[in-house]
Amino acid sequence: MSSNDKPQIKITVVGYGSQGRAHALNLRDSGFDVTVGLRPGGPTEAKAQADGFTVKPVAEAVADADLVAVLTPDMVQKKLYNDVLAPNLKQGACLLFAHGLNVHFGMITPREDLDVVLVAPKGPGALVRREYEIGRGVPCIYAVHQDKSGQAEQLALAYAGGLGGARANIIKTTFKEETETDLFGEQAVLCGGASALVQAGFETLVEAGYQPEIAYYEVLHELKLIVDLFYEGGITRMLEFISETAQYGDFVSGPRVIDASVKARMKDVLTDIQNGTFTRNWQAEYDAGLPNYKQWQQADKDHPIEKVGRELRAKMVWLQSQNA
């Protein structure tokens, strides 16, 4: 699909959170005809209107769209599809997801006449928008689940290009691969693993008698330095910028903390993701009103490192200017 075709593609973005807003703005700036579908009176309706979009109820917004991007939270997508999208999507439209969970695990079975694709920028919505605005882009991955028209891949690539992905890198994947690796990364490393590692390090130092403030700086504050180096040039760049003492400690102590037993438990996490156990448990938790989720979330917020962190960050004037 050439760039000359862009204005002829009518896109409806359903949802206007972090990703939804970034997608809608980038696509519009790339020349696409974009409508936003939202629940009337919802919390993001005014924001989308202030950004200059035509905002319609979802059923109306998707009725004449060539491509509908579903950018709502995972756990509401099944009901949204069954109650609103399936009855109102026009024949032969393209249904696009930014995460494959509902389709891969069979909670959504798309109509057979639809093209079904996935486009996932590898970054949060604010970054997707910011990089686009300065003339760059965030890498995107894409996949085709159902190609009824014979044009599904071209539609996915055009959408990824409209987000700015072609300025960086676009990689083809599958719904299975995207879903399972995304869930694993979040749970074992990026969110679950990192949070638990930081909390355990803080507790170890404080329990040994060290000041909580010093512990905070060592195991949480300075983590940004290391992550930035990882981001810029991988482990090699990190090793170039830390001291020889830190490197030696990395070599001898890293494998003591993250040993074969940790990797074995990571494999257990991956197995639960692959066989659907995690998704079934998450769906059951959501359907029950999130009782455990809310307790676990509050426990993280109440952890001593959070109290210390709030006090120390209040004195970091550069953070206040960034968050203003």
The Cβ of residue 31 has, within 10 Å, a number of other Cβ atoms equal to 15
- 218 labeled binding residue: yes
Contacts from 120-125 at CB under 8 Å and sequence distance 24+? 120/178, 120/182, 121/19, 121/22, 121/163, 121/165, 124/18, 124/19, 125/17, 125/18, 125/19, 125/20, 125/21, 125/22, 125/23
The two three-digit tokens of residue 173, written as one number: 């994947």
Residues 99, 104, 145, 303: which is the catalytic one? 99
- 91 labeled binding residue: no
Residue of 112, 104, 175 whose CA lies nearest to 143: 175
Residue of 77, 76, 14, 16 whose CA lies nearest to 46: 16
- 18 labeled binding residue: yes
- 16 labeled binding residue: yes
Continuous H helices in 93-191: 101-104, 125-133, 152-163, 175-184
- 193 labeled binding residue: no
Specify whether 221 is catalytic: no
- 125 labeled binding residue: yes
- 302 labeled binding residue: no
Contact partners, residue 226, CB within 8 Å, separation at least 6:
238, 242
- 222 labeled binding residue: yes
One-letter amino acid at 88 equals N
Annotated binding residues, as ranges? 16-19, 39, 44, 125, 182, 186, 218, 222, 243
Binding residues for Mg(2+): 182, 186, 218, 222
List, by residue number, the catalytic residues. 99
